[in-house]
Amino acid sequence: MASSSSSYWLTASLAFILTATLLLRESQAQLSSTFYDSTCPNVSSIVLDQVQQAQKNDTRILASLTRLFFHDCFVNGCDGSILLDNSSTIVTEKDAAPNNNSARGFGVVDNIKAAVENSCSGIVSCADILALAAEVSVNLSVGPKWSVLLGRRDGTTANFTAAGNLPGPRDNLTTLQKKFNDVGLNDTDLVALSGAHTFGRAQVWVSLQYSNGRMKAVGG
Ligand SMILES: *[C@@H]1O[C@H](CO)[C@@H](O)[C@H](O)[C@H]1NC(C)=O
Ligand SMILES: *[C@@H]1O[C@H](CO)[C@@H](O)[C@H](O)[C@H]1NC(C)=O
Ligand SMILES: *[C@@H]1O[C@H](CO)[C@@H](O)[C@H](O)[C@H]1NC(C)=O
Ligand SMILES: *[C@@H]1O[C@H](CO)[C@@H](O)[C@H](O)[C@H]1NC(C)=O
Ligand SMILES: *[C@@H]1O[C@H](CO)[C@@H](O)[C@H](O)[C@H]1NC(C)=O
Ligand SMILES: *[C@@H]1O[C@H](CO)[C@@H](O)[C@H](O)[C@H]1NC(C)=O
Ligand SMILES: *[C@@H]1O[C@H](CO)[C@@H](O)[C@H](O)[C@H]1NC(C)=O
Ligand SMILES: *[C@@H]1O[C@H](CO)[C@@H](O)[C@H](O)[C@H]1NC(C)=O
């Protein structure tokens, strides 16, 4: 049941501005919008090109990449950890209930990475590629624009448990406030990010629950 409602988890477009703000607060010294200007000057246009290519085949991809970035950032920061597969030391976040069968766009991220590597090998982190892909996706969706900060390092660990604790469709206000607060986001951020559900696709689900001697349908 949990997995069938998973696409309700935030598909956040304003998320980027907010997570970018959050990240800026935390690591102001290291991140910069011009981080790759001398080492990989075409990175932004390569990402834009790849996302536009993907969009030709997949009209949902802009929302999917946006959500992917949010699901990365909410768990231990924007470190690309959501991209990590199982290994001897990793239990992939991809399998966590909010992601399993609903997180998508991994192939597009791989294509972007390959194109970027082709232009400047070993320079741009996967975390930054995901951040750029999300920014481009929001831009192409005619959403708000911002100058994406770059210079993130890729995480080498994942946290399956924390990924299972992303804001969920059944969380009450207190729980949502706490989850956002725990990552440095306040009520304004919560409201703005929740508003990002106005784009993308959600799954309709119904579950039958038995309570007080009656069967009732609970859905969304
Ligand atoms: C688009 O879809 C076609 C047919 O499935 C596939 O051959 C092609 O590689 C896809 N292109 C991209 C950019 O994903
Ligand atoms: C990843 O590892 C976990 C824990 O060992 C396992 O439950 C899950 O099925 C694995 N996922 C994939 C896609 O192999
Ligand atoms: C992910 O979804 C698949 C298919 O619905 C399911 O078989 C698998 O058990 C799920 N993985 C986890 C870790 O819940
Ligand atoms: C960047 O793009 C420009 C114009 O498309 C091209 O001339 C140049 O060779 C590219 N540079 C790199 C390092 O790929
Ligand atoms: C944003 O989108 C516009 C087209 O809508 C495009 O001209 C511009 O280059 C895009 N900017 C970025 C950073 O992708
Ligand atoms: C993973 O996240 C959980 C809760 O979200 C936290 O308690 C735990 O310390 C984290 N594990 C690591 C290795 O960071
Ligand atoms: C909100 O949900 C939490 C966790 O399920 C629960 O402990 C708490 O009592 C709920 N608060 C309200 C006001 O319903
Ligand atoms: C949340 O934080 C932002 C940025 O610091 C601030 O502008 C806003 O007023 C805050 N909102 C609340 C409800 O505290």
Q: Give 120 Cα–ligand 4 centroid separation in angstroms.
A: 10
Percent of the chain with pLDDT over 90: 69
Is the CB of residue 116 below 6 angstroms from any atom belonging to ligand 5?
Answer: no
What value does the mean pLDDT take over residues 133-140? Answer: 94
- Residue owning the nearest CA to atom 9 of ligand 8: 188
Catalytic residue among 67, 71, 94, 113: 71
Is the CB of residue 183 below 6 angstroms from any atom belonging to ligand 6?
Answer: no
pLDDT at residue 208 in the model = 65
DSSP string, 117-166: HHHSTTTS-HHHHHHHHHHHHHHHTT-------B-PPPPS---HHHHTTS
pTM of the model: 0.83
Q: Give 56 Cα–ligand 1 centroid separation in angstroms.
A: 9
- Which residues, at least 6 apart from 134, have a Cβ–Cβ distance to it below 8 Å? 15, 16, 65, 66, 68, 69, 70, 148
What value does the mean pLDDT take over residues 180-189? Answer: 95
197 marked ligand binding residue: yes
Is the pLDDT confidence value at 158 over 80? yes
pLDDT digits (tens, 9 = 90+) for 63-103: 999 999 999 999 999 999 999 999 999 999 999 999 999 99
Helix (H, G, I), strand (E, B) or coil at 84: coil
Tokens (6 digits) for 149? 């900060």
Is the pLDDT confidence value at 174 over 70? yes
pLDDT at residue 219 in the model = 55
Tokens (6 digits) for 174? 């207190």
Q: Which ligand is nearest to the CA of 190?
A: 8
Is the CB of residue 14 below 6 angstroms from any atom belonging to ligand 5?
Answer: no
- Nearest atom, ligand 5, residue 48 CA: 14
